[in-house]
Amino acid sequence: MIKVIIERHIAEGLEDAYLEKVRSLMLQITDRPGFLKGDAYRDMDQPNHFYVISNWENIGCWERWHDSPARQNMLSELSPFMESDEKCTVLALKVSYEAQPAKYARPTQTYSY
């Protein structure tokens, strides 16, 4: 599994309209091959700074979506809201931690690629 973090800076005053648009657009990707989950977040200190964090089965699934005409159309719908180009970061999970009743958290899973 990989995690993709998309960072977007939205023009001041357009934050709520952006959120409405991104909600509707995110529903369109739920049936994409390899898509597992997606969430949209707003920076609490910078209200025009947003992140979309999604999980994909593998890098190939993400790259096919990233390069697809459907995603390019989606970006063209979002571009009127954005101050600058989005930044995408792709992460591969190496170690996973969960809260434990014990005093110290410990790895629950370790991954190798």
pLDDT (tens digit per residue) in 9-62: 999 999 999 999 999 998 889 999 999 999 999 999 999 999 999 999 999 999
61 φ/ψ angles, rounded to the nearest 5 degrees: -60, -45
> How much is the pLDDT for 56?
97
List all residues 6 or more positions away from 60 whose beta carbon is below 8 Å from its beta carbon: 34
pLDDT (tens digit per residue) in 51-99: 999 999 999 999 999 999 999 999 999 999 999 999 999 999 888 777 7
> How much is the pLDDT for 113?
46
What is the model's pTM? 0.82
Write down the domain spans for the chain. Answer: 2-110
Beta-carbon count within 10 A of 62 CB? 21
Three-state secondary structure call for residue 104: coil
Query: Residue 100: pLDDT above 90?
Result: no
* Contact call for residues 8 and 50 (beta carbons, < 8 A): yes
65 φ/ψ angles, rounded to the nearest 5 degrees: -65, -45
Query: Residue 105: pLDDT above 90?
Result: no
Fold of 2-110: Alpha-Beta Plaits (3.30.70)
**What is the spatial distance between Cα 79 and Cα 83, in angstroms, rounded to a whole number?**
8
